[in-house]
Amino acid sequence: MSSDKFIANSAVVAFVRRGVKLIALDFDQTIVDIHTGGSWRGLSSSLVPHVRPCFKALIEAVLAEPRLHVCVVTFSTQPGMIEDVLKAALPNWYLILSDVPLVGSSYM
């Protein structure tokens, strides 16, 4: 098991033990290691290599734990693009990721 997966699994155990129900993660410069500026002009596939391994492991660990939920929050106006990035980065979770709420900006 990689250190990212070990840390993610340990975090999930701690979250459950403390009664946490929802993990909300920011996209720009958190899940991905760059800032899209809220309006990415490139292909979503070009963002996939920028998904940080530690957040990939955390999202996978949260999705595997039925007592926890995950959502993505962002100022981006492109929640569909973010969903595409996550589905490509986490292909084993493709169907479940369709149910992950993506809360994007509606005023940019």
Question: Per residue in 53-93, pLDDT tens?
Answer: 999 999 999 999 999 999 999 888 888 899 999 999 998 88
Contacts of 74 (CB under 8 A, 6+ apart): 26, 27, 28, 38, 82, 102, 103, 104, 105
DSSP SS3 for 94: helix
Contacts of 23 (CB under 8 A, 6+ apart): 15, 58, 62, 68, 69, 70, 71
pTM over the 0.85 mark: yes
**Cα gap 61→29, rounded to integer Å:** 20
Domain boundaries, the chain: 3-103
The residue-averaged pLDDT of 23-48 equals 93
What is the average pLDDT value for the chain, to the nearest integer?
Answer: 90
What are the structure tokens assigned to 89, written together?
């980065």
